[in-house]
Amino acid sequence: MSTNTLTERYVHEVARRIPADQRDDVADELRATIADTIEARESSDPDAAEREVLTEMGDPFRLAARYADRPLSLIGPWLYPTYIRLLTVLLSTVLPVIVVLTVVIDVLDGNDAGSVIGSGIAALLTVGAQMIAWLTVMFAVIERVQHRDGPARGADKWTPDDLPELRDLPKPDKQGFMAGAAAIWNAFLLVLIVWQHTAEPYRTDGGDRLQVLDPGLWSGWIWPILAGLAALVALELVRVAARGWTRPLAIGYALAEALFALPLAWILYRHEFFDPDFLAAVNGDWTTPDAFYTVAALGVLAVSAHEAVKRFREARR
Amino acid sequence: MPDVTLEDLILSQAQELRRGTVVLACLALLDEPQYGYALLETLNDAGVTVDGNTLYPLLRRLDKQGLLTSEWNTDESRPRKFYRVSPEGSRVRTGLVREWQDLVASIARLTKEAP
């Protein structure tokens, strides 16, 4: 059955895109069906008939998607409105804030106008592109996960309360908005941490560029923190799409919060948070009191625990 | 809009109308077990036009939903998968037929009133 005929190549192209448990069955059935169809043409030229039949069956990718009941769009009609709304919020509020921040830092560094404008445009393009890319990836994943559970449940519970006021500031459902805002905030933190690592934004009087956070973290504790933040963003976005916290979502949220907060509290407690060179340059002769770190570590734990408990409470409603 | 003929308009709207009828037609025809290509022929001969690349995935979906049952028949030289209506499927068919008749009656009433 593994001869290199057009039919075999076609069946293979369809089958390899289908979940493994149905693959052989679909392949066998498709093979028989194609053979039946070719035979029924009673053509004097079987090769031409085969080509004709396969052309009519169409793109194997499309056929496989139909067999696997998979969406043929990256973000389907159920999630598209939410996607567009969140993208608009990100690009119209968070992006300008980051760009302004970049420009302000550059101005404070005493750079000339040309380089200030340059870094502003660079921030606009790279951060903007990152926002679009990651949001799109998130929603494409949600689309696929949701599809497996049956056709898009949850995302269609639009109520008239979601209508923006005329000539007034939009007042969408508060909790959904808060979840969206939390996602944006956590994404912002994530970007900020990576940015301060790659851009080394602090400049000492001697002209050296420094990171704000301890560079040693990048061979250790920063990774669970970043992973936790990414998971928090993902879960908040799922919450926005599903329009409510569920128990599994809240459990996932608590785990992600722990992944983020525990290492963070630990490195704060161990005074491994800031780049020592950066601290020395900023503080001069003054040393940061130990109490600062202890309070910060406890604060992180308290806020995270509070957030997790809040999610469970919202899930119970 | 350039060059959209009346026939094209009717054709595209008719396609929308026909979309849901294939399931009902399959449930109606599959009291006797039949395999994919034969069913396609029967449907097209009966005036229910459907493409293979729509019908074959549909049959598997109805099978998965429990409206059809399937079985490989290896008696002939070419093994084929045969589908037939399950008890659940025949109950669904009854409901769909009722729905269909209501629809026909409604449309008949509406189109009679229209000039």
Contacts of A36 in chain B (CB under 8 A): 35-38, 78, 80
Q: Which of A212, A195, A199, A202 is nearest to A275 (CA)?
A: A212
- Does residue A61 belong to any structural domain of this protein? yes
Cβ distance A32 to B79 less than 8 Å, yes or no, reads: yes
pLDDT at A173 over 70: no
Return mean pLDDT, chain A: 81
Specify if A49 maps to a domain: yes
Which domain, by its residues, includes A40? Answer: 6-68
DSSP classification of residue A164: P
By three-state DSSP, how is residue B34 classified?
A: strand
In a domain, A34, yes or no: yes
What are A136-172's pLDDT values in tens digits? 988 888 887 765 544 444 445 667 776 766 654 444 4
Q: pLDDT value at position A317?
A: 67
State how far the Cα of A5 lies from the Cα of A64, in Å rounded to an integer: 19
Asked if B53's CB is within 8 angstroms of A63's CB, the reply is yes
Domain membership flag for residue A170: no
The reply to whether A121 falls in a domain is no
Asked if residue A30 belongs to a domain, the reply is: yes
The total number of structural domains that make up chain A: 1
Confidence of residue B91 (pLDDT cuts 50, 70, 90): very high
* Spatial contact of A250 and A315, defined as CB atoms under 8 Å apart: yes
Q: Do B37 and A37 touch (CB under 8 A)?
A: yes
- What B100-108 contacts at long range (C-beta under 8 Å, 24+ apart), as own/partner pairs, is B100/B24
User: What does the buried/exposed string (b/e) look like for B101-114 if buried means 16 or more CB atoms within 10 Å of the residue's CB?
Assistant: eeeeeeeeeeeeee
pLDDT digits (tens, 9 = 90+) for A274-289: 887 787 777 777 777 7
Q: Which chain B residues contact residue A27 at CB under 8 A?
A: none
Chain B CB contacts of A28 below 8 Å: 72, 79, 81
Domain boundaries, chain B: 6-113
Q: Would A293 be classed as within a structural domain?
A: no
Give B107 to chain A, closest Cα distance, Å: 29
| Per-residue model confidence as pLDDT tens digits over A206-253 | 777 778 888 888 878 888 888 888 888 888 888 887 777 788 888 888
Whether the per-residue pLDDT at B14 is higher than 90: the answer is no
**Is position A63 within any domain?**
yes
Which pLDDT tens digit goes with each residue over A287-314? 777 778 888 888 888 888 888 888 888 8
What ipTM goes with this model?
0.82
Residue range B6-113, CATH number: 1.10.10.10
